[in-house]
Amino acid sequence: MKQYNLGIEATLEIIGGKWKALIICLLMSGVKRTSELQRHIDGISQKVLIQQLRELEKDGLVRRYVFQQMPPKVEYSLTEYGVTANKIVEVMCSWGKENIKMRQQQGEDIVLLEGTVTGEF
């Protein structure tokens, strides 16, 4: 029997980690192919991208559609449930943006490269 003390533990298991929130963020702007996702996510390896996508699929947030053709073509999109998870991603994005602004005002040498990935968050 698996036990949780707080709801947040389940959330972190599902969308925690280094990449999943970003992937959800990107898929919010529409269906994407594997290579497209990889080009947009700076620094992710193909192995890890696919691994994360499979986990998101297993957890019901992402749908995987395989075209039976050569060369291979696979498309990923958010399920309805995935869209509910995006609510979390949104708050995290906007809080993060405010955090960055604040730190800039305090003189820290940081930037948010807006528009480069989703153009939104």
Partner DNA sequence: TAAGGTAGTTACTTTAAAGTGCGTACTAGA
Partner DNA sequence: TCTAGTACGCACTTTAAAGTAACTACCTTA
Strands 62-67 and 73-78: antiparallel
Amino acid at 42: D
Please report whether residue 45 would count as binding DNA according to CB under 7 A.
yes
Show the site string, 82-111: x = touches a second copy by CB under 8 A, - = not.
--xx-xxx-xxxxxxxxxx-------xxxx
Q: How many CB atoms lie within 10 A of CB 33?
A: 14
Give the one entry of DNA, a second copy, none that residue 79 binds, where binding means its C-beta sits below a cut-off of 5 to 8 angstroms depending on kind.
Answer: none
CA distance 106 to 72: 49
Could you say which DSSP state residue 118 is in?
Answer: S
56 contact choice in DNA, a second copy, none (CB below 5 to 8 Å, kind-dependent)? none
**Cβ distance to DNA smaller for residue 72 or 101:** 72
Whether the CB-CB separation of 35 and 89 falls below 8 Å is answered with: no
Whole-angstrom Cα distance, residue 112 to residue 48? Answer: 24
- Residue of the chain from 6, 47, 80, 105 that contacts a second copy (CB under 8 A): 6
Is residue 52 at the binding interface for DNA, with CB under 7 A as the rule? yes
At 81 the three-state DSSP class reads helix
* Residues in contact with DNA by the rule CB under 7 A: 17-19, 33-36, 43-48, 50, 52-54, 64, 66, 70-74
* Residues in contact with a second copy by the rule CB under 8 A: 1-12, 14, 16, 18, 21-22, 25, 42, 84-85, 87-89, 91-100, 108-113, 116-118, 121
